[in-house]
Amino acid sequence: MALRNFLILLTAVCAMATGPCAWSQPVRPRPAVEVDVKAKLKEVQGNPQQLAAVLKEGAKVASFCANCHGDGGNSVKTEVPNLAGQNESYLMDQLRQYIDGHRPTTDFKRRLIKFLTVDEKVSLVAFYARQDVLTKAPADAAVAARGKALYKKLCADCHEIDGKGSEDYSRVAGQQAGYMSAALISYRDKPAPRYSKDMVTSLKDIKDADLNAMVVYIASMK
């Protein structure tokens, strides 16, 4: 019943765009209740039959998110982030932050997420984490090369050299250019309300041209 109610409400709102939410922010410490969610994720990962059922359920929920985030989590709107291939722990943490208010969003979207049960959240993030990110070669190889050097200098220590992140840091590889640009500019120019000292320190002196070059490279990463 919870999933049915969620899907009905989500259908009515999924066309609404959301503002930059900066995937690059590290995962916040989880409250005790989230330990159970993490255990469920590990249980699913270690059981192929259970995983198959979970992914099937996750696809049902994700199909209603496709209006904004695209089929399989590959957004068709540059300002809307890709969810495909994103780290499970990071995605789960973002759902929690929507609910508890640490991540800015509309009250309506926050209420929609509250309709999901723990099992439905697990199925959703498990599904997205296993989808392939669709990328395109950069139009300007020289710009991408400059962006690659900047990425290695400013981002690779946390988000890994391949951009796929870790349990504690988001995947940025293949992220939508418009979304990533807005997120990085937000950290550089107006870090509140989602503050990350490391991000602000890394980006505080970056020029627009260099930031754009880094975005071009990140968007092309597979």
Among candidate residues 23, 83, 27, 88, the one with its CA nearest the CA of residue 54: 88
Q: Which residues contact 105 (CB under 8 A, 6 or more apart)?
A: 18, 21, 98
What pLDDT score was predicted for residue 160?
97
Tell which phi-psi region holds residue 160, choosing left (phi > 0), alpha (psi between -120 and 50) or beta: left
Both tokens of 11, joined, read 């259908």
The per-residue pLDDT string of the chain (222 residues; one tens digit each, 9 = 90 and over) reads 555 555 554 444 444 444 444 444 554 444 444 557 778 888 888 888 999 999 999 999 998 889 889 999 999 999 999 999 999 999 999 998 888 888 888 787 788 788 888 899 999 999 999 999 999 999 999 999 999 999 999 999 999 999 999 988 999 999 999 999 999 999 999 876 677 889 999 999 999 999 999 999 999 999
Distance of CA 161 to the CA centre of its chain: 18
CA distance 59 to 65: 10
- CB–CB of 87/185 below 8 Å? no
Both tokens of 5, joined, read 């109610």
Domains with residue ranges and CATH for the chain: 2-6+16-129 (1.10.760.10), 141-220 (1.10.760.10)
What pLDDT score was predicted for residue 62?
94
- CB–CB of 80/176 below 8 Å? yes
CA distance 182 to 188: 10
What pLDDT score was predicted for residue 114?
86
What pLDDT score was predicted for residue 179?
96
Distance in Å from the first CA to the final CA of the chain = 38
What is the four-CA torsion angle of 48, 65, 183, 209, rounded to 10 degrees?
Answer: 100
- CB–CB of 200/206 below 8 Å? no
Q: Is the dihedral of CA 59, 3, 37, 30 positive or negative?
A: positive
